[in-house]
Amino acid sequence: MNIRKLLSAKVQAAMAAVGIPPACAAQVVPSKKPGFGDYQANGAMGAAKAMKTNPRELAQAIVGQLSQVRALEDIAEKVEIAGPGFINIHLAPAWLGQQAGQVLAAARLGIDAQQPQTVIVDYSSPNLAKEMHVGHLRSTIIGDAQARILEFLGHRVIRQNHVGDWGTQFGMLIAELEEHLGSGEAADFALQDLETFYRQAKQHFDSDPDFADRARDYVVKLQAGDTDILALWQQFREVSLHHSEAIYRRLNVTLARDHVCGESAYNADLPVLLEDLQQRGLVIEDQGAQVMFLPELADKEGNPCPVIMQKRGGGYLYATTDMAAMRHRVTTLKADRILYFIDARQSLHMQQVFAAARRAGYVGEQVSLEHHAFGTMMGEDGTPFKTRSGDTVKLAGLLAEAEQRAAALLSGKASELTPAEQAEVSRKVGIGAVKYADLSKTRTHDYIFSWDAMLSMDGNTAPYLQYAYTRVKSIFRNAGVDPASLAGDIVVSAPAETALVLKLLQFSEAVEQVAREAYPHILCTYLYEVASLYMRFYEACPILKEGVDEKTRASRLRLCDLVAQTLNTGLDLLGIETMERM
Ligand code: ARG
């Protein structure tokens, strides 16, 4: 069920019937202003321009055709022309109620499965040398929501956690680990605190020339596949991945070990890739480096943009690994779309590797390459979010604080929950608040991280939506009714009811738009509107009060059920948990 698509198809058919060329789109959109109907078709203006005729007459012809073939009979109660040729469609409440009833009975809340594609979602992808910090939050949260949404629509989603587990800093880290293990310490103990460990390694590297030599030697050995060095690297990687996985679980993020396909995975392929580029004359030696020149990204003077594939001395770069990853994703994983959730500061890098991969023919035109960039998380002072002492904020600590703050927020309320249940609710509210605060902002913008704003019980926040959900569920508890036992039509009469039902039926439009454009805030705004319209409906339309007839009560309870299911499903698609009471 997608009203917009349904109306588009009907209007498009009418346009064809009155001789409008198929290239002219029906342009059906939800109406922005009350009084202009629920949807409007704006295609008559464009068509009139193309055909050099009068738009209002064309709109008249389209509306005439719609009514002649009764295309919108039952669906719309009124179709009228406004302004220069807008066609305003007022949907019929009876039809809306009927559709809502069908959606309740359908799988996936009536959202049609899409033509399945294989979609790679590259997200989170921390560098393993460091503990996960706020800089990894946005990619992890937004990427996970996107993966869930695409999966929900029936796509084959392949999550790829392109962790930074390779490169020169690993020589240093391995040398440090060796020191610890030499003194009898266990690897997981030595690496308990990755930050301290990294700092120690760096200090050793800078102050002790022997250590530095060893570290450099280990890089070479690592790349040559030396078994002892690889074993140490493996231990480091294991402990570090473990740490990330604990964060993912806590964040309710679906990434698992199977999704890790980091930089090291492409190591063996890099010389092969370079040779291929060399043989086909796509890289040129320039000051000892192997460079690809991209005329498609030329500067103002027309000089092609250089991308280094191999440094002088033989080292490979971040870009080389990304080339290998793209080739793997297309050739082996058979991707139709590849989505990257990476900070906007890597936009130039992504542009370069995309252009290079196209040029090399590793990614054909039929495959969509998409960098979904995002802005920076700012502190309340408007500079990038840091601790008071200016350090990066570690995720483990941030999430613990979120849970504590949520517990404090909820402790003020009378609760019928056991302490264990309260702790569970605090966890869901705290984590949900952090995630939702991020997801609800336009992805490409910077945003200010504010505990007070994200934990507010009113406004576009997770706690508000989670609370709205519990309120709907409490109606069923108070009525002693199992929503699954309800049957019968949804009858729409009051304006607050009509507005709510229409919004509920637009769930597919929101979800499908996010699947296409990867802006999860669209789904957040949608859910917030559902919750707000529900509150208005609840005020205006009595459900359990005396004097409400049986049929109306059942209908309204079914509507509540649809609200609950929509909120629950929508929040789940965003990776946010709900609870029955709080
Ligand atoms: N590890 C990189 C970083 O922390 C992000 C990797 C993103 N994915 C990619 N295919 N380049 O900056």
pLDDT in tens, 231-271: 999 999 999 999 999 999 999 999 999 999 999 999 999 99
Burial class (CB in 10 A: 0-12, 13-18, 19+), 446: middle
Residues 6+ apart with CB under 8 A from 29: 4, 39, 40, 42
Q: What would the two tokens of residue 534 be? A: 């529900």
Can you tell me whether residue 480 is helix, strand or coil? Answer: coil
Neighbours of 419 (CB within 10 A): 8
User: Rounded CA gap, 431 and 422, in Å?
Assistant: 14
At 447, phi and psi to the nearest 5? -145, 155
- According to the model, what pLDDT value does residue 328 have? 98
- According to the model, what pLDDT value does residue 454 have? 97
- According to the model, what pLDDT value does residue 305 have? 97
CA of 337 to the centre of ligand 1 (A): 18
- Domain spans of the chain? 3-91, 169-256, 264-370
Give per-residue pLDDT as tens, 397-445: 999 999 999 999 998 777 789 999 999 999 999 999 999 999 999 999 9
Specify the ligand 1 atom closest to the Cα of 318: 11
User: Rounded CA gap, 457 and 339, in Å?
Assistant: 34
Q: What would the two tokens of residue 52 be? A: 């050099």
Angle between helices 137-152 and 507-517 (to 10 degrees): 120
Neighbours of 78 (CB within 10 A): 11
Place of tokens 């027309």: 302
- According to the model, what pLDDT value does residue 574 have? 98
User: Residue 234 is which amino acid?
Assistant: Q
Distances in whole angstroms, Cα of residue 571 to Cα of each of 357, 469, 568: 36, 10, 5
Decide if 449 contacts 379 (C-beta within 8 A): yes
Q: Which residue out of 158, 342, 352, 369 has the highest number of ligand 1 atoms within 8 Å of its CB and is therefore the one to mutate?
A: 342
pLDDT by 10s per residue, the chain, length 582: 899 999 999 999 999 999 999 999 999 999 988 889 999 999 999 999 999 999 999 999 999 999 999 999 999 999 999 999 999 999 999 999 999 999 999 989 999 988 999 999 999 999 998 889 998 999 999 999 999 999 999 999 999 999 999 988 999 999 999 999 988 888 888 888 888 899 999 999 999 999 999 999 999 899 889 999 999 999 999 999 999 999 999 999 999 999 999 999 999 999 999 999 999 999 999 999 999 999 999 999 999 999 999 999 888 999 999 999 999 999 999 999 999 999 999 999 999 999 999 999 999 999 999 999 999 999 989 899 998 888 889 999 999 999 999 999 998 777 789 999 999 999 999 999 999 999 999 999 999 999 999 999 999 999 999 999 999 999 999 999 999 999 888 999 999 999 999 999 999 999 999 999 999 999 999 999 999 999 999 999 999 999 999 999 999 999 999 999 999 999 999 999 999 999
Q: Which residue out of 132, 162, 328 has the highest number of ligand 1 atoms within 8 Å of its CB and is therefore the one to mutate?
A: 162
* Pocket flag, ligand 1, residue 322 (CB < 6 Å): yes
Specify the ligand 1 atom closest to the Cα of 343: 12
At 290, phi and psi to the nearest 5? -100, 115
Decide if 29 contacts 20 (C-beta within 8 A): no
pTM of the model: 0.95
> Whose CA is closest to atom 7 on ligand 1?
125
* Pocket flag, ligand 1, residue 127 (CB < 6 Å): yes
DSSP state letter for 378: E
Distances in whole angstroms, Cα of residue 477 to Cα of each of 260, 426, 482, 546, 552: 43, 22, 8, 17, 18
Q: Which CATH number fits domain 3-91: 3.20.20.370, 3.40.50.360, 3.30.420.40, 3.30.1360.70?
A: 3.30.1360.70
> Whose CA is closest to atom 11 on ligand 1?
322
At 89, phi and psi to the nearest 5? -115, 120
Can you tell me whether residue 149 is helix, strand or coil? Answer: helix
Question: H/E element holding 12?
Answer: helix 3-17
Interface confidence, given as ipTM, is 0.99
CA atoms within 13 A on the CB side of 227: 0
Burial class (CB in 10 A: 0-12, 13-18, 19+), 94: middle
Specify the ligand 1 atom closest to the Cα of 164: 1
Task: Report long-range pairs for 205-209 (Cβ below 8 Å, ≥24 apart).
Answer: 205/172, 205/175
Specify the ligand 1 atom closest to the Cα of 163: 1
Burial class (CB in 10 A: 0-12, 13-18, 19+), 472: buried
CA atoms within 13 A on the CB side of 66: 28
CA of 539 to the centre of ligand 1 (A): 49
